[in-house]
Amino acid sequence: MTETLTDRVSREGTTVAHTELKLEDESFLTDDFVRQLINVGEVDILVGLPTHNNARTICPIVRTIQSGILQAFPRERAVIINVDGGSRDGTPELVTGISIDDVRPASNLYALRTLPSISTRYASSPASGVSLRTILAAADLLRAKACVVISPESANVESEWISKLLRPIYRENFDLVTPTYRRHKFEGLLVTNLLYPMVRALYGMRIREAFAPEFGFSSRLGSQFLGQNNWHDGSDGAGIELRFTLAAVKAGYRIGQSFLGEKDRVQRHASDLVPALRQTVGTLFSVLESDFPAWNAVVGSQPIPTTGSEQEFLLEPMRINRKRLREMFSTGVAELESVFRTILSPATLVELQRIARLGEEEFRYSSELWVKTVYEFAASYRKSVISRDHIIQALAPLFRGRVFTFLMENRGGSANDVENNIEGLCLEFERLKPYLLEQWKSRE
């Protein structure tokens, strides 16, 4: 249907206010990429696809994305932008090779118009900060109204994800859409036991996955973040997704979440915990200082509009080495005493040492103790009592102890029980927020 002039003004009016792209930002895009962008021209929908050596799975994923776009937005101008971090297996060529246009032989997908797939190499090794920055710059230059980032690490990408993450942005004026998943109740405990409750308690919004590999965002938010984020802070941008979400929260953008379905269980090892902590908790702690004005006065939390379920749990039994978790906790508490002494308050440390001595049956890392632990870590991080990276590493054994307690408490529970327990933990984080503020000030 034709839109009236007023429709277009009100739709475009809000996007005109986006920050003008600074010259220094533009220059980090390669000439070849800029030429490709010129040829693509203005688009309505942009899909960012960061890759690194994904040749094995990338073609079906791109086809799925294409079919998702064609189903949900058949008439809109769209583009798939692959930002590649130095693949050596030909991933970028595979992506551009299945572009939908009149040069290549027709695929099974029927498309009203050209749906280009273009690619650029942003670095010789993956760096999520640079890849997101490239995507944001491209979205800004192409004036894309709604954008989504899809990670090819999620092997079970579905075409509906495009609609679920973009429709609220394109048609309902949302600025950020984060995903929610169906997971096994014991997966993603770093999210359910730390990230989600802490972001919720501090920033006042119940965003379940503030650090997610796939999310949708509007041009307003993208352009603002592109212009205002400090891209040259020396880190390669690990955890940039979390920064992005928190920036949106801070600036009062409209945030929603969409249920995407089952989160693919990527095979990981226990040794992946420290890098995960660095990316998530490290990032969170590092923004707390600058975000202080935004979160210190917030009390309680608000739910955000959600399409589909907020969280679903799979309950099938899992064989987990619980004993090892508890042992690593106890060993950690014992061996790292000197480190903990500089980070934790004496009372907390004593309590931790006490429970470390308990047997498996009596062991319990209570919610309150865990919350206090996390808050004290946050305050110490701010002061940099020791190297910040070491503070993060020191959290790992304590987290394992918490995981153990979570496993024990939710052993036989139904999905509802698990959800209630998580909700209880969140409320504890909210209740003890004054404690954080106290710790924050006391270390001044």
* 394 is a site residue for another protein (CB under 8 A): yes
Q: Which of 15, 19, 114, 235 touches another protein by CB under 8 A? A: 114
> Is the Cβ–Cβ distance between 189 and 403 less than 8 Å?
yes
* C-alpha span between 437 and 420 (Å, rounded): 26
To another protein, the closest distance from the beta carbon of 337 in angstroms equals: 9
CB neighbour list of residue 335: distance below 8 Å, 6 or more residues apart: none
Q: Which of 111, 123, 349, 408 touches another protein by CB under 8 A? A: 111
Distance, C-alpha 116 to centroid of its chain:
27
To another protein, the closest distance from the beta carbon of 328 in angstroms equals: 6
Secondary structure element (H or E) that encloses residue 425, with its range: helix 415-431
* 379 is a site residue for another protein (CB under 8 A): no
By CB under 8 A, what part of segment 145-204 binds another protein?
186-191
Number of residues that bind another protein (CB under 8 A): 63
* 112 is a site residue for another protein (CB under 8 A): yes
By CB under 8 A, what part of segment 117-146 binds another protein?
none
* Minimum CB distance to another protein smaller for 369 or for 403: 403
* Minimum CB distance to another protein smaller for 76 or for 175: 76
Candidate ranges 85-93, 369-377, 392-400, 427-435; the one touching another protein (CB under 8 A): 392-400
Output b/e per residue, 240-259; b: 16+ Cβ within 10 A.
bbbbbbbbbbeeebbbbbbb
To another protein, the closest distance from the beta carbon of 371 in angstroms equals: 18
Q: Which of 38, 155, 347, 358 touches another protein by CB under 8 A? A: 38
* Minimum CB distance to another protein smaller for 106 or for 299: 106
* C-alpha span between 442 and 342 (Å, rounded): 14
> Is the Cβ–Cβ distance between 403 and 325 less than 8 Å?
yes
> Is the Cβ–Cβ distance between 226 and 140 less than 8 Å?
yes
Q: Which of 335, 360, 423, 438 touches another protein by CB under 8 A? A: 335
* 387 is a site residue for another protein (CB under 8 A): yes
To another protein, the closest distance from the beta carbon of 321 in angstroms equals: 5
Any idea how long the chain is? 444
By CB under 8 A, what part of segment 305-334 binds another protein?
318-321, 324, 327-328, 331-332
To another protein, the closest distance from the beta carbon of 300 in angstroms equals: 26
* 88 is a site residue for another protein (CB under 8 A): no
Tokens linked to 301: 């939390």
The secondary structure of 238-283 as a DSSP string is TTHHHHHHHHHHHTT--EEEEEEEEPP-----GGGHHHHHIIIIIH
The secondary structure of 151-213 as a DSSP string is -TT-TT--THHHHHHHHHHHHH--SEEEEEEEEETTS-HHIIIIIHHHHHHHHSB--S-SS-S
CB neighbour list of residue 157: distance below 8 Å, 6 or more residues apart: 61, 64, 65, 150, 214
Candidate ranges 49-57, 160-168, 273-281, 302-310; the one touching another protein (CB under 8 A): 273-281
* 74 is a site residue for another protein (CB under 8 A): yes
* Minimum CB distance to another protein smaller for 105 or for 359: 105
**Cα separations in angstroms, 172 against 124, 218, 364:** 38, 11, 45
To another protein, the closest distance from the beta carbon of 254 in angstroms equals: 25
* Minimum CB distance to another protein smaller for 1 or for 297: 1
Binding mask 248-267 for another protein (x = CB under 8 A): -----------------xxx
* 403 is a site residue for another protein (CB under 8 A): yes
> Is the Cβ–Cβ distance between 255 and 362 less than 8 Å?
no
* 385 is a site residue for another protein (CB under 8 A): yes
Task: Please enumerate, as own/partner, the contacts of 34-37 that have beta carbons within 8 Å and a separation of 24 or more.
Answer: 34/141, 36/118, 36/120, 37/118, 37/138, 37/141, 37/142
List of residues contacting another protein (CB under 8 A):
1-2, 35-36, 38-39, 41, 74-75, 101-103, 106, 110-114, 116, 186-191, 211, 265-274, 276-277, 280, 318-321, 324, 327-328, 331-332, 335-336, 339, 342, 384-387, 390, 393-394, 396-397, 399, 403
